[in-house]
Amino acid sequence: MGKHSTMFQVRDLTVMELNEQEVMVVACDSVGGIGSKPHDKVKADGAVVGAFALRVPLFELISAGAAPVLVVNTLSVEWDPAGREIVQGLKAYAKQAGLDVDVQFTGSTEENVPTVQTGVGITVLGKAEKARFFPGSTRQGDWVACAGWPKSAPDDDVRLDDPQILSIEELYILRQQPDVHDILPVGSKGILYEAQELANSAGLASQLEVQKGRTTLDLEKSAGPSTCVIFSAAEEAIGRLQRQLKAPLTVIGQLA
């Protein structure tokens, strides 16, 4: 990379220029107090914890147009049995994004101190072509819509097989549409906050007209492990995507 490499921040992503055509993109997330340990507040199987911990950074990279290449897990639990179960879950979920070679995974566990509560850190590295790195690509006149439904534990039963939760396969369908521009996973701050971020990153925040009265969707509810995403698209894409996706698709507003 050399002394001329450039590093910068785009929303929650760290980006480093690799060469004239490519950038490396880094995303991360953490999970605490969710698992099978005695002091975990939300009880969950280790494999489920691993899958959902990986989901957020994977969604961030794919939404931005990056291809994930390496998963780093830092687990504040012992390897056997808790760590093994978590890694099994994240590896199974990673396969859906094309990560299935052992060298694409690395990490560590806590073997010196007995732990009574689950702690998970996940970092994912990806590569993107500069020409297909999408943050900030929203255009004036775009519609802003939400794919999926906001859900978060412990208030909701959050399951990967829930049809209201956007699947990774559906995210790839969204990303492959030429008239879908920017995509942003929704986190704990809710849909409205992320919609404003989507518009702001394109310099169009003042032009976002939110249609609050047209849906029962709670625009301020946490979406936990990115159970939904928002995206900007040309109007003709909305109806087509409603037919292609199993997860609910809700129009949030327009960049007038």
The mean pLDDT of 65-73, rounded to a whole number, is 97
pLDDT in tens, 47-63: 999 999 999 999 999 99
pLDDT at 205: 79
Lowest-confidence segment of 199-208, 209-218, 237-246 by average pLDDT? 209-218
Tokens 């946490």 correspond to 222
160: Cβ–Cβ under 8 A, 6 or more apart, which residues?
A: 48, 51, 52, 93, 167
Is residue 202 predicted with pLDDT exceeding 50? Answer: yes
Instruction: List the alpha helices (DSSP H) in the chain.
Output: 46-64, 84-94, 168-175, 191-200, 235-244
8 A C-beta contact, residue 143 and residue 214: no
CATH of domain 7-132: 3.30.1330.10
pLDDT at 1: 43
pLDDT at 4: 52
Tokens 């689950």 correspond to 118
In this structure, whether the domain defined by 143-255 belongs to CATH 3.40.720.10 is answered with no
pLDDT in tens, 85-122: 999 999 999 999 999 999 999 999 999 999 999 999 99
How sure is the predictor about 34, in pLDDT bands with cuts at 50, 70 and 90? very high
* Residue spans per domain, the chain: 7-132, 143-255
Is residue 18 predicted with pLDDT exceeding 70? Answer: yes
8 A C-beta contact, residue 196 and residue 205: yes
Q: Which of 128, 143, 120 is nearest to 249 (CA)?
A: 143
As a whole number of angstroms, the distance between CA 182 and CA 144 comes to 9
